[in-house]
Chain A
Amino acid sequence: MITELRDLKMNTPKINEPQALLTIQDLRVWYELRRFGFGHAGYVKAVDGVSFALAEGETVAVVGESGCGKSSLMKTILGLNIPTSGEVVFDGENLSGLKGDGLQHYRFKVGYVQQDPYGALPPFMNVQKILEEPLIISGMKSREERLARIHKVMSEVKLHPVEDFLKKFPHMLSGGQQQRIVIARAMLREPKLIVADEPVSMLDASVRVEILKLLRALQESHGLSVIYITHDLSTVKYFSRRIFVMYAGSLIEKADTRQLLGNPLHPYTHALLAATSDPEARNAETFKEVPPGEPPSLVNPPTGCRFHPRCPRFMAGLCDVKFPPDLEPEPGHFVACWLYQ
């Protein structure tokens, strides 16, 4: 495995932004595959050489088709997955050095909004208990203090009147209300970063925009950094300044939203944008996510450029042999494709 790693280490450019809140350096998250419970059978390379930096207050969208490793990347940032290699530095602290209490404190600074709000809320706790838990864990002893904080955050996520919701259980709330609770829970401890993993994909089309606008409002009023994961490019423009396109475990294109939507460079991004026929689409049914061709295997990914079997501009002898490095054809617009060499 060590030699494999060495082979894969590419000349990824060092990212040195002065006020970066989050810096990720050549991150790999490999899940070990076991045969019949024991015996090594390879790795699922869910995240394979990802680097980027996120400034304080910056919003970024990560897009990519299902199974490309978006959630694995985010769970690593949240400290839920242990990185196989690479570094995650948050607010000057290296995540891999953190254990026990340190890791717990790190977690207080990051909020997590999951895809399925109903699943994300313990069904046997009422709203008050759900929201008290993170506060109790972070050591807020006084009940009055906790309730005051809960009241404040609940009105921020527009659950009015607060008292009507406190004693309700998740199944008594609508999907939109549930997601507001999840967002409130993420906001409780005044985090610096919110990771929102497809926060609206399971909601009714009618409430999606509301939730996205709420996230945007919170981001602006609190100066939050937000990583917004989606496979729906049509929702990106709501608040993301930058877009990262992810394919088979790596980020193949990184650019400002306008740059990327106006001038997509990577053939995969082209395909993705073409598939999103109507970027205004509010309705999931009209949205086609997948560009033509089979998604790649993450256990045995294609050699060279991971996209080459599906790429219309595939160059034999190059693309299928060498992994393309991050290139920067225009300032701030990175793309991993040999076309731009």
Chain B
Amino acid sequence: MLYYPSAIVGLLVVFLLVFTAIYAMIKIPYNEAIRLWRGGEEVWYQNPKFAPPAWFNLFSSKKYSESFAVKTSDGSMTREVTPGAQGTSTMSIAYTFDFSYDYYPQELILYFTSSYEEKQPFISAEWLTPDGRKIRLVNMALSQKQTYRFSQDEKLKTRLRTEEVIPYLFSDPETGALVKGEYQLLITGAAFEPDADINVEFVSHGQVYGLAGTDQARRDLVVPLLWGAPIALAFGLIASLGTSVLTMVIAALGTWYGGWIDELIQRITEINLVLPFLSILIMIGTFYSRSIWVILGATILLSIFTGAIKSYRSIFVQVKESLYIEAARAYGASSPRIVFLYLIPRMIPLLIPGLVSSVPAFVFLEASLAVLGLGDPVLPTWGKIIEDANSNGALYRGYYYWILEPATLLMITGLGFAMLGFALDRIFNPKLRDV
């Protein structure tokens, strides 16, 4: 094994994939993954849309602003409460952050939650810049849930005499140049009842986000990228195993029993070979079901009767004539016994490398179907990412990360299995070594 570098690389890739798959399933349990993947604004409000991964900054001389979200409820935003007379209280909420990027954030948002009986609490928010300016943002009474988007505040726009609130907040009003340094958001709240309370979450949608970026629905691409691994592996391996084993068993039965069984298998194969495989899958996906299990079953069924059955058959025809089979017949082995214990084991050395090498084809098939819009409607897969990217014009709009991330994973998977299969073939069938 060690004499084959491709085996080692292939094995490493496969191990890594398996590891990723297991990690994904432990870290994000299935139900959670589905909830996140199917979740909308309520799950993903903290993230910007179409944001490339944060590590983009490593390769760019101008730095994109990173996204963040902080809140009072978990202490990432400080809050000091000062009790006043007659059950009233004032509180001061502050968040200081260092801004040293070369681009403005896309949006700044405050999500308020407050509790009160009758009288609404009141807040006022202020913006402190590194050069010491203090900009009043808003004064308002809070309902139980209230969202404040900086860029949408018409009053603020008029007061600041600008259409672009966010650039204004981050730049020098004279020169219009971006100012780097420590900014502070200061919120002063007043509650008028003993049990009244105010909490706030401050979200900044930057240009870049996280490890893998986000898509059109603000979803963190880490989820489908991670979860794509177990799904791709499961689909590829099950399809490949199912196809190879069934093909081999059917070829063996046909060759052994001969006669009309063999004829039937041959005819079915000839018909199946001229049937448009992908079109049938597309039809099934369009008219019947896009469930990955249905597609998997159809893929296996359609892949059994292909060229492979003919090549297996041609080998079985030779093995069938071998002396040890004749001997087995002479000592009374039954036909099923001969097929399963004498014919098929002879083919295992061919089966295993073939099985491993055909995994990528099935992984790509699943991805292609997803790209065509026939992916499983529920599951997060690599193909679905590409589909989303494609339908959102990722390539025209320059969101290359969106396609490159899943495509790279697909390619690595394909290469890994192909290399391993190739090496296994040479290990199991040493005759090929000289060729």
Q: Which residues of A does B touch, CB under 8 Å?
A: 75, 78-80, 103-105, 107-108, 110, 112, 114-116, 119-125, 133-134, 137-138, 182, 185, 189
8 Å CB contact of A110 from B322, B324, B326, B330: B330
Contact residues in B for A116 (Cβ distance below 8 Å): 323
Between A80, A107, A124, the greatest number of chain B beta carbons within 10 A of the residue's beta carbon is seen for A124
B residues near A185, Cβ cutoff 8 Å: 327, 331
Q: How far is the CB of A123 from chain B (nearest CB, A)?
A: 8
Q: Give chain B nearest CB distance to A36 CB in angstroms.
A: 15
Closest 9 CB pairs of A and B: A119-B323, A107-B332, A112-B330, A134-B331, A104-B332, A122-B324, A120-B323, A124-B345, A78-B330
Contacts of B322 in A (CB 8 A): 119
CB proximity of B58 to chain A, nearest CB, Å: 54
A-B contact pairs, 20 of them (CB 8 A): A80-B330, A104-B332, A108-B331, A112-B327, A115-B323, A119-B323, A119-B324, A120-B324, A121-B324, A122-B345, A123-B324, A124-B345, A125-B345, A133-B333, A134-B332, A137-B331, A137-B333, A137-B334, A137-B337, A185-B331
Assess whether A133 is in contact with B330, with CB atoms less than 8 Å apart: no
Residues of B within 8 A of A114 (CB): 323, 326-327
In the complex, A112→B330 CA distance in Å? 7
Residues of A within 8 A of B329 (CB): 80
Q: Which residues of A contact B331 (CB under 8 A)?
A: 107-108, 112, 133-134, 137, 185, 189
Within the complex, what minimum Cβ distance (angstroms) separates B353 from chain A?
16
Residue of B nearest to A114 (CB): B323
Residues of B within 8 A of A (CB): 322-324, 326-334, 337, 341-342, 345-346, 348
Task: Collect the chain A residues with CB atoms within 8 Å of residue B333's CB.
Answer: 133, 137
* A120 with B345: CB separation less than 8 A: no
Q: A80-B326, A104-B334, A119-B324 are in contact. List 5 more A-B contacts (CB 8 A).
A: A80-B330, A112-B327, A121-B327, A122-B345, A124-B345
CB nearest neighbor in B for A135: B331
Chain B nearest Cβ from A102, distance in angstroms: 11
- Give the distance in Å from the alpha carbon of A138 to the alpha carbon of B334 in the complex: 11
Known: A114-B326, A185-B327. A122 touches B342 (CB 8 A): yes
How many angstroms between the C-alpha atoms of A110 and B330 in the bound complex?
A: 8
Looking at the assembled complex, report how far the CB atom of A77 sits from the nearest CB atom of chain B, in whole angstroms.
10
State in angstroms the CA–CA spacing of A120 and B85 once bound together: 103
Residue of A nearest to B326 (CB): A80
**Bound CA–CA A119/B345 (angstroms):** 15
Separation of A119 and B322 alpha carbons in the complex (Å): 7
What residue of chain B has the Cβ atom nearest to residue A75's Cβ? Answer: B326
Chain B proximity of A113: nearest CB distance (Å): 9
Interface centre among B324, B331, B346 (most CB of A within 10 A): B331
CB distance from A224 to the nearest CB of B (A): 16
The closest CB in chain B to the CB of A78 belongs to: B330
- B contact residues around A182 at 8 Å (CB): 327
Contacts of A134 in B (CB 8 A): 331-332
Question: How far, in whole Å, are A133 and B323 apart by their CA atoms in the complex?
Answer: 15
- Rounded to whole angstroms, the CA-CA distance of A68 and B273 in the bound complex is 44
Contacting pair A138 B323 (CB below 8 A):
no
A138–B324 contact, CB under 8 A? no
A97 to B341, CA, bound (A): 28
Q: Which residues of A contact B341 (CB under 8 A)?
A: 133
Please give, as numbers and ranges, the residues of chain A lying within 8 Å of B342 by CB-CB distance: 122
Residues on A with C-beta less than 8 A from B332 are 103-105, 107-108, 134, 137-138
Which A-chain residue is minimally distant from B331 (CB atoms)? A134
Please name the residue on chain A nearest to B322 by beta carbon.
A119
Q: Which B residue sits closest to A188, measured CB to CB?
A: B331
Minimum CB–CB distance from A309 to chain B (whole Å) comes to: 32
Q: Which of A79, A105, A120 has the most CB of B within 10 A?
A: A120
Residue of A nearest to B337 (CB): A137
- Please measure, in the bound complex, the distance between the C-alpha atom of A110 and the C-alpha atom of B328, giving whole angstroms: 12
Minimum CB–CB distance from A294 to chain B (whole Å) comes to 27
With a CB–CB cut-off of 8 A, which chain A residues contact B345?
122, 124-125
B327:A120 contact, CB within 8 angstroms: yes
Using CB atoms, name the residue of chain A closest to B333.
A137
Residue of B nearest to A191 (CB): B331
Which residues of A are found within 8 Å of B327, using beta-carbon distances? 112, 114, 120-121, 182, 185
Evaluate contact between B323 and A107: CB separation under 8 angstroms.
no
In the complex the two chains form, what is the Cα distance from A124 to B343 in whole Å? 11
Query: For A122, what are the chain B residues with a Cβ–Cβ distance below 8 Å?
Result: 324, 328, 342, 345-346
CA distance A120 to B324 in the complex (A): 4
Cβ of B313 to closest chain A Cβ, rounded Å: 15
In angstroms, how far is the closest chain B Cβ from the Cβ of A288? 27
Q: Smallest Cβ distance from A177 to chain B, in angstroms? A: 16
A108 to B328, CA, bound (A): 11
Bound-state Cα–Cα, A155 to B331, Å: 21
